[in-house]
Amino acid sequence: MANAAEDFSQFGISKEEKDKLVGELIRYMLFKTHQNSGCPIKREELTQLVTKNYHQRNLPTFVINEAKEKLSFVFGYEMRELQRAHPSSKAQTRSSQQSVADSKSYILISQLPPNVYEKYVVDVNTAHLSGFTFVIISIVYLAGGKIPEENLWSQMRRMGLGETEASHPVLGNVKQALELLVQQRYLQKDKVNGPEGNTVYYELAERALDGPMNDRVKEYISQIVQDNTSVGAA
């Protein structure tokens, strides 16, 4: 508390004003996460919440950090910062052009242990999307982190998920479900010019490359491989 008061007094705003800004940012994170089904929220959007009424330098950073603490303390959510990943073919050119601040975004992740989360928090109405996400990420991962679009659809067709399927009983529009993974930054698309024309690739994006997520994917893949092995032995 004392530290917070000292920190914000240098910006010339009261504790009440600070608390209001922090509360607004928390609300924005929660509502936007719900509306966009968990798509990352750009740091620039959060900054503008503060700068539209206050112009002190570095104030947005303080408010964002305070909101991080509050989200963890009150809701048990980690407000994780992601650095935007770029398609491998454009990594060098783009990284030099875009500013660092422009490529930061945030997602909310529950800090509860997995077993507690699964027992009390997982929503059965959206659990199928998690399963879909896991399978697609695993396929791209096994392909070395990058897979041609046609190859991905070939694998999906083997699971009964066709590109033109618009009324799948669980996923609905399959193409849209895959596109949502791109918006949520689990995957990214990359167009590459080659001798045979343009080829579209799917690559793992920053959400899937995030440490804990990456580890869990490996764990689940090895688990499935073991299951298949034991089935084969029987």
Partner 1 sequence: MSSALNWRHHVVIQSLLSRGPLSEKDLHAMFQDLTKRNPGTERQLFDSFILKINKALSCANFELRACIDQYDGQVYYGVVNTVSDEHSKLGTKYTVPQIAFYKAIIEAIVQDASANAAIFSIHALNLSLDSQVTIVTDSQSQGSQPNVPTALKNFSLSQKEKTLHELVRDQWLDLTTDGVIRLGLKSFLDLRSWFRNNDLPSCHVCNEAGIKAELCQNENCTVRIHHYCLKQLFLQRKVAEVCPSCGTSWPYTVPKAEAEQTEDDNEPRGSKQVIKSERKRRRANRVVDDEVGSNNQDELNESRESQHGNGLVQKRGRPRRSDDADIGGSDASQSLTAISDARRVTRSSARLS
Q: Which stretch binds partner 1 (CB under 8 A): 80-88, 107-115, 159-167, 175-183?
A: 107-115
Query: Tokens 């990284």 sit at which residue?
Result: 95
Of the candidates 10, 16, 3, which has an alpha carbon nearest to the alpha carbon of residue 57? 10
**Residue from 99, 125, 164, 167 that binds partner 1 (CB under 8 A)?**
125
Q: Would you count residue 1 as binding partner 1 (CB under 8 A)?
A: yes
Amino acid at 166: A
Question: At 76, phi and psi to the nearest 5?
Answer: 75, 25
Q: Which stretch binds partner 1 (CB under 8 A): 116-124, 159-167, 207-215, 219-227?
A: 116-124
Question: Nearest distance from residue 165's CB to partner 1, in Å?
Answer: 19
DSSP code of residue 193: E
Contacts of 62 (CB under 8 A, 6+ apart): 7, 8, 11
Question: Nearest distance from residue 64's CB to partner 1, in Å?
Answer: 15
Question: Nearest distance from residue 26's CB to partner 1, in Å?
Answer: 4
Of the candidates 202, 207, 211, 130, which has an alpha carbon nearest to the alpha carbon of residue 171? 130
SS3 category, 187:
strand
Tokens representing residue 3 in the block = 């530290």
**Residue from 8, 21, 22, 64 that binds partner 1 (CB under 8 A)?**
22
Q: Which stretch binds partner 1 (CB under 8 A): 28-36, 147-155, 191-199, 204-212?
A: 28-36
Query: Tokens 């083997």 sit at which residue?
Result: 158
Q: Would you count residue 6 as binding partner 1 (CB under 8 A)?
A: no
Q: Which stretch binds partner 1 (CB under 8 A): 112-120, 177-185, 186-194, 221-229?
A: 112-120
Question: Nearest distance from residue 43's CB to partner 1, in Å?
Answer: 17
Question: At 49, phi and psi to the nearest 5?
Answer: -60, -35
**Residue from 75, 149, 182, 221 that binds partner 1 (CB under 8 A)?**
75
**Residue from 14, 58, 111, 154 that binds partner 1 (CB under 8 A)?**
111
CB 139 within 8 A of CB 204: no
Determine the number of helices (DSSP H) and then strands (DSSP E) in the chain: 11, 6
Q: Would you count residue 26 as binding partner 1 (CB under 8 A)?
A: yes
Residue ranges that bind partner 1, judged by CB under 8 A = 1, 19, 22-24, 26-28, 30-32, 34-35, 70, 73-77, 110-113, 116-117, 120-125
